Amino acid sequence: MWAWILHRVTGVGVMIFIVIHILDTWLIGFGPEVYDTVMNIYRHPIFRLGEVALVGALLFHALNGLRVILIDFWPEAGLFQKQRQLFQVVVVLFFILYVPVAGYMIWDIIY
Amino acid sequence: MARSSYSRQRPMGGGFELFAWYFMRISGLLLVLMALGHIVIMHIINSVEVINYAFVARRWAVPFWRVYDWILLALGVLHGSNGIRVVIDDYVHHRGWRAFCTSALYVLAFVLLVMGTEVLLTFTPGV
Ligand code: HEM
């Protein structure tokens, strides 16, 4: 249940970001002044923290998405007990990967 | 509607819904490599500190990156909007509103694909 809620929330969140991100990239067609102005806004620490959150959302969605695909195509993984264990693997992998990445990104904001 | 299951069940009826179900899984597998690859290159190794007009111009001078970005654009928009379609089906029950939301979503997805494709095809530095 939690996995499903988080998968949905992160999926919608990443989609919202992608809409904005395609619009800002599209602006590059208007030349350096316009595009570099927008990139300057993104350098604000608030946006950079949002970026850290975005990376976390996508990482969780990707790892849990892999779990969903595994369960869908490999019946043995579908046993309730196995599903739970796989979710624990997702959570552990998420922290192993995300803690250093988020740490590095925040370090990069501060220094 | 909230599901106790881990994911959407494989649709039995065949047709578009079954196709969409498979598409979510296949595009998901490709997105693991391409979206996470994009994140590592653009948001971790590089960052908005160094990304500006000149950076993108240098990157898109290499056709490989234009192709990469276009595939990522197409997969991301289609996977994401199909996901939103399922979410709308789950929460918007009134027929009229559902038709409205889904149509708006299709227009948005189409516009995003056109804008992204346009900039990837026509971008020429210095113009
Ligand atoms: C990085 C690799 C990704 C993987 C492995 C992945 C995997 C999946 C899978 C398997 C589903 C279907 C779940 C179900 O049928 O219950 C799904 C749903 C979804 N995905 Fe992704 N996805 C990825 C990236 C993305 C991206 C980049 C976006 C945003 C554009 C996104 C947005 C969504 C949305 C909105 C849903 C619907 C959620 C729901 O129905 O609860 N995903 N994803």
Q: What is the pLDDT of residue A89?
A: 96
B69 close to B120: Cβ distance less than 8 angstroms? yes
User: Stretch A33-42: mean pLDDT, rounded?
Assistant: 96
Question: To 10 degrees, what angle do helices A32-42 and B53-60 make?
Answer: 110
pLDDT of A45 higher than 50: yes
- Whether A18 lines ligand 1, by a CB cut-off of 6 Å, is yes
Domain-located, residue B1: no
Q: How many domains does chain B have?
A: 1
What CATH number does residue A103 fall under?
1.20.1300.10
User: Stretch A57-85: mean pLDDT, rounded?
Assistant: 92
Give the domain extent around A42.
2-110
Question: In this predicted model, which residue has the larger pLDDT, B9 or B25?
Answer: B25
Domain-located, residue B42: yes
Domain-located, residue B84: yes
Domain-located, residue B63: yes
What CATH number does residue B55 fall under?
1.20.1300.10
Give the domain extent around B33.
16-122
Domain-located, residue B90: yes
Q: What is the ipTM of this complex?
A: 0.94
- Cα pseudo-dihedral B29, B4, A91, B32, rounded to 10: 10
Integer Cα distance of B64 and B53 in angstroms? 18
Of B19, B88, B37, the C-alpha closest to A12 is B88
Domain-located, residue B20: yes
CB–CB of A62 and B127 under 8 A? no
Domain-located, residue B10: no
Q: How many domains does chain A have?
A: 1
Contact list in A for residue B29 (CB cut-off 8 A) is 66, 69
Cα A96–chain centre separation:
15
B36 at A interface, C-beta within 8 A: yes
Quick one: B59 exposed, middle or buried, by C-beta within 10 A (0-12, 13-18, 19+)?
Answer: middle
A82 at B interface, C-beta within 8 A: no
Residue with the nearest Cα to atom 12 of ligand 1?
A: B24
Domain-located, residue B107: yes
DSSP labels for B85-109? HHHHHHH--SHHHHHHHHHHHHHHH
Question: In this predicted model, which residue has the larger pLDDT, B126 or A32?
Answer: A32
Q: What is the pLDDT of residue B127?
A: 56
